Structure 1
Amino acid sequence: MAAEEDEAMGHVPTGEIRFPWFGNFSGTEGTTGTSGADHWMLWSIYDNLVGYDTTLTPDPSRSLAQSWEVPDELTVIFNLRDNVQYHDGTPLSAESVRLHMERGKTLEVSRIAGDLGALDTVEEVDGLTATFHMSRPFSPLLWILGDRAGMLLSPAVFDDFTEALTRNAPSATGAFTFVEEDLDSPFIVEANRNYWLPNAPNVERITYFQGVEAGQGTNGLIAGDYDIHWSPAPEDFSRMEDAGLTVQVEPTNGHRFFALQPLYEPWINEHARHAFNAAFDRDAVVDVVYDNLHTPNHWGWLGPSTIYHDPDETFWEYDPELVRMHLDAGGLSDGFEFDMPVHNDPVTLNETEFIQAQLAEFGIKMNLQPRPAPDYWKGFFEGTDGGQFSGMSMRADIWQQIFWNGGAGAPYDHILPPDKDPELQAQFTKVAETFETEPRIEAMRELNRLMEARSWHIKVFYHAQTVAHHADLQYELFGDGKAHFGQNDVRWAT
């Protein structure tokens, strides 16, 4: 549809959104990428089979499925929208949904195979009706389809995305179409003039500036070079507000953590992991480095912003006596040494150097290895590094957030023992098969206990999403802590 036709219809996307990001996106589609920050770009290009609203509630008005039915726990019927096209002109159909899901389950480099593990087959009832037949009850399904697994890619470009972290030109159904990108360079998308949602999108172009240092993002926003900046430093809030910018803050269940490879030294020794977990003061880190912006993590995967949170069930505190007990029990009385890749931005370095100093009091020597994105985390997933410091962003269903980090077939599958830890996997299954609220809360808490007992992830805090933007930019925060720039989610005031 041409711009002139937009004008005739009374809707013309206007303006540009300029977004600085300190790293690089890991890939240009949902199935083969891995970074939580990818979503900020992906949701502008992709719509989901099931989309969710700002409260993380599945919402048919935001979905490629205009409705769905759940006749029983093993069957979900999706009724697709008519007259929706992928950017290459391929029509949205039950066949394209089936092919997408089969690819997600079987592609060797798929990052969503674990998410779709309970999906048996997809039946094409007719051109616009796709029935999911589940091999077992799976309560997170609708929320899972609001994430990477439900970001439908056109079958016409499947062959362009057969490698992990592929950066080829995608074709999806979203509000914006891919234009161009390069590492540490602008990633540009433009309005889809054949978009299915009336009066959307509301801006003509989004430019994601990759490889921008955090301080440059703040200064550029104040100078007018950028329009919206994610995760600015707390000490810059007043300066941005004085410049007339809007600053928004909202707690999430996103996590900041050290991910450890328990199959490598020194982490194969569980006492080394437990000693690390008790050897630094989370409250002090949040106070000194972040001016109490975030919430210290004493409760594992289930933070205060979730319905599963139990304030009385704490797991890890700063405890010198416990540290020494584990060091002695592990034959590490004099401490131990390890390398830790971290992102090379100033805030991360301040945080990890603060923790580094606390660990040193126990003879635990953490050798920081500052690297740019995505290098600081890629080695961990490729098997060359024994750890990485990053985190895990919020997911609409907490099960998926935990499963990503400990589930068999999930992205962190490589940290699991050869037998995949049957006790843990059984609890993942129990949560997934539980639909009623109260039993699910207790099952989720037991899953949390099992994960924390293993000390595979040394958590620091629950992340508060912070965003600063031009006062005339209208944008509502989503509960997942991510930027949603697709559909009609962002606009300039007129």
Structure 2
Amino acid sequence: MPWSSPNGRPGRWRTLGVVTTAGLVLGGCAPLVEPQTVVNEERSGVDLPVRKGGEISVALDADPDALDPTLSSTLVGRQVYTSVCEKLYDVGENLEIVPQLAADLPEISDDGLDVTIPLRRDLLFNDGTALDAHAVKRSLDRHREMPASRRATELESVRSVEVVDADTVRLRLHRPYAPLTSMLADRAGMILSPTALDELGEDFGQAPVCVGPFHFVERVAQDRIVVERSEHYYDADLVNLDRIVYRPIPDPTIRLANLRSGQLDAMWKVSPDDLPAVSNEDGLTLLNQPSIQYMGMSVNVMNTDGNTAEPGQVEGPLAEDPRVRQALALSLDRDTINEVVFSGLHQPACGPIPPSSEFATEETQACPEHDPDRARELLAEAGVQTPVPVELMISNEPLTLRLGQVIQAMAAEAGFQVRLRPTEFAASIAEAQSGNFQTYISGWSGRPDPDGNIGSFHVRSGANNYSGHFTPETDELIREAAEETDPERRRDLYSELVPRLRDFNNIIYLYRERLYAAHSTDLAGVRVYPDGLMRFREAGFVAEGGEG
């Protein structure tokens, strides 16, 4: 139904998108700055006095998958969750794990098998019902046991969840699991309203109810997700905005044009092409953070019937012969990709552990040289006819398509013929999960603990193991590293593990994004942390007399 903006502007979802690339010509009047200057100017948010009330429109880079924490798997979905579904724990500005719905960090028994979590008291879900230990147990059990759960791998170490009392739960583990608290700082730790689960069951994602500063109002596919300030939120006094409208706009040019025109108040993912202008543009604030994510190319090796089903060998030289996958990896020049596609504003990457991690070592950060000559030799050794055909599924977003074209050109020099298969983002996730692809460009927003970036991607039938590839030896090493509580020993284990994973090339790691978001200078209090999420809990319009 029609609506109007509480901040005095007309309801903008009716006209959003009419601003085209012409808006860029009119909007960018500020002098440009050097790209490297943009990289060096980190900013997680702006602190200014804000006023109560108002509504904002926020552009996302894609339409999220189902808003069901048990089933979802996208970063763009997590952007919405920050407003409507809090977790037992959260990630702080410096990637520290902090209590959120929990009252304190867990108490862990000496043998590492019992994890006791105290809960904050007097919490209410956004439907007004109480959050207690029984609700926590029900959500955790759903994450662990529901068919098709994307959280099952993350909580695989949990044997049972017990209610100690109304404000305490205890997790009994099969084995010690050092990353557990980190896992509970994401979707595995989101607690869902039992009343909503009773009403909606498997359709929970159509109208999610959790604890959060905002409550879900409506979703129109490919158009908008609307949330409003919750009257039941425990820190309601900190929440300033009345309403947020999330808009999926895959094209970064159109996102920026609408931000400049005032049709949007904030946007995720400023294109590297636009960063020098945006960083110095009147009326806009650029937020810039390093990330713990990675982007890579998954190669379908053993995903024949869905990535959580029994693995089976995929046919074709790329899947069957590791030399062919190595040749493809050697054909790609990560430094040139970063310069040509991203203006040098991201970072080449060759593994799942970011350099900022306490577990980063020389071995985990090593990158193989770009070597097309060796790639051609490997194809000759494998006895394959060239050019080797490769289909690359890729999201149909302009910058990603440019990446695909660069990969095409580089791989061609080594003896590959890459054909791009542009696919809508949410559809590409479904295709990857089902195994309906040969290679696929995708990313992971990253977790503070390395196991969150490794386990579900490389173990047998892992929730995010789109390639399907595994070995018993690396499965055991992943498990051993996750059980280890001594940081030095864990570092050594990852130094052994990551080179092995890299050699399989079932994921060819390519680059690590920096995080660039922008908002109007009328706003303050928007936060972006290295976990890749925009937080609006304390955001608001700048109060009269404040300087935007």
Please, which of 491, 505, 510 is the counterpart of residue 455 of structure 1?
Answer: 505
Partner of 1:252: helix, strand, or coil?
coil
Partner of 2:169: helix, strand, or coil?
strand
Partner of 2:335: 283
Count the aligned residue pairs. 476
Partner of 1:5: none
Partner of 2:368: 316
The CA deviation at 1:198 is 4.8
Please, which of 213, 216, 238 is the counterpart of residue 251 of structure 2?
Answer: 213
The CA deviation at 1:92 is 0.7
- d(CA) in 1 for partners of 2:250, 2:136: 36
The answer to whether 1:361 aligns with 2:427 is no
Please, which of 200, 213, 219 is the counterpart of residue 175 of structure 1?
Answer: 213
- d(CA) in 2 for partners of 1:347, 1:334: 29
Aligned AA (2:70)? T
Partner of 1:245: 284
Aligned AA (1:479)? P
Please, which of 284, 289, 300 is the counterpart of residue 261 of structure 1?
Answer: 300
- d(CA) in 2 for partners of 1:350, 1:107: 38
Please, which of 491, 508, 530 is the counterpart of residue 441 of structure 1?
Answer: 491
Partner of 2:202: 162
- d(CA) in 1 for partners of 2:245, 2:354: 33
Partner of 2:161: helix, strand, or coil?
strand
The answer to whether 1:467 aligns with 2:517 is yes
- d(CA) in 2 for partners of 1:20, 1:198: 24
Partner of 1:195: 233
Cα RMSD for the two superposed structures: 2.0
**Residues 454 and 199 (structure 1), Cα distance of their counterparts in 2 relative to 1, 3 Å cut:** same
Partner of 1:477: 528
CA deviation digits over 1:368-416, x for unaligned, max 9?
A: 0112221233211122222321211121212111113113343234533
The answer to whether 1:225 aligns with 2:263 is yes
- d(CA) in 2 for partners of 1:491, 1:447: 45
Equivalences for 1:80-229 in 2 at 5 Å?
Answer: 80-158=119-197, 160-162=200-202, 167-229=205-267
The CA deviation at 1:323 is 0.5
Give unpaired runs (5+ residues) of structure 2.
1-49, 303-313, 544-548
Aligned AA (1:491)? G
Partner of 2:12: none
The answer to whether 1:300 aligns with 2:338 is no
CA deviation digits over 1:32-75, x for unaligned, max 9?
A: 11112211001211110122211121212x33444532233111
**Cα contact 2:300–2:506 (8 A) shared by 1:** yes
- d(CA) in 1 for partners of 2:281, 2:449: 37
**Cα contact 2:137–2:162 (8 A) shared by 1:** yes
Partner of 2:326: helix, strand, or coil?
helix
The CA deviation at 1:233 is 1.1
**Cα contact 1:341–1:369 (8 A) shared by 2:** yes
Partner of 1:49: 88
**Residues 161 and 256 (structure 1), Cα distance of their counterparts in 2 relative to 1, 3 Å cut:** farther
Q: Following TM superposition, where does structure 1 have runs of at least 4 consecutive aligned residues deviating by more than 6 angstroms?
A: none
Give unpaired runs (5+ residues) of structure 1.
1-10
Partner of 2:381: 329
Partner of 2:509: helix, strand, or coil?
strand
- d(CA) in 2 for partners of 1:50, 1:409: 27
Of all paired residues, the percent bearing the same amino acid is 25
The answer to whether 1:376 aligns with 2:428 is yes
Partner of 2:90: helix, strand, or coil?
coil
- d(CA) in 2 for partners of 1:118, 1:351: 38
**Residues 323 and 67 (structure 1), Cα distance of their counterparts in 2 relative to 1, 3 Å cut:** closer
The answer to whether 1:70 aligns with 2:122 is no
Aligned AA (1:384)? N
Partner of 2:216: helix, strand, or coil?
strand
Aligned AA (2:532)? G
CA deviation digits over 1:400-457, x for unaligned, max 9?
A: 111131133432345335xx52111111111111112211111122221221121011
* TM-score normalised over the length of structure 2: 0.83
Partner of 2:447: 395
Aligned AA (1:362)? A
- d(CA) in 1 for partners of 2:351, 2:225: 35
- d(CA) in 2 for partners of 1:305, 1:229: 26
Partner of 1:7: none
Deviates more, 1:124-133 or 1:331-340: 331-340
**Cα contact 1:47–1:64 (8 A) shared by 2:** no
The CA deviation at 1:211 is 3.7
Aligned AA (1:436)? D
- d(CA) in 2 for partners of 1:432, 1:413: 17
Aligned AA (1:445)? S
- d(CA) in 2 for partners of 1:85, 1:224: 35
**Cα contact 2:63–2:248 (8 A) shared by 1:** yes
The CA deviation at 1:13 is 4.5
**Residues 21 and 476 (structure 1), Cα distance of their counterparts in 2 relative to 1, 3 Å cut:** closer
The answer to whether 1:416 aligns with 2:465 is no
- d(CA) in 2 for partners of 1:198, 1:189: 15
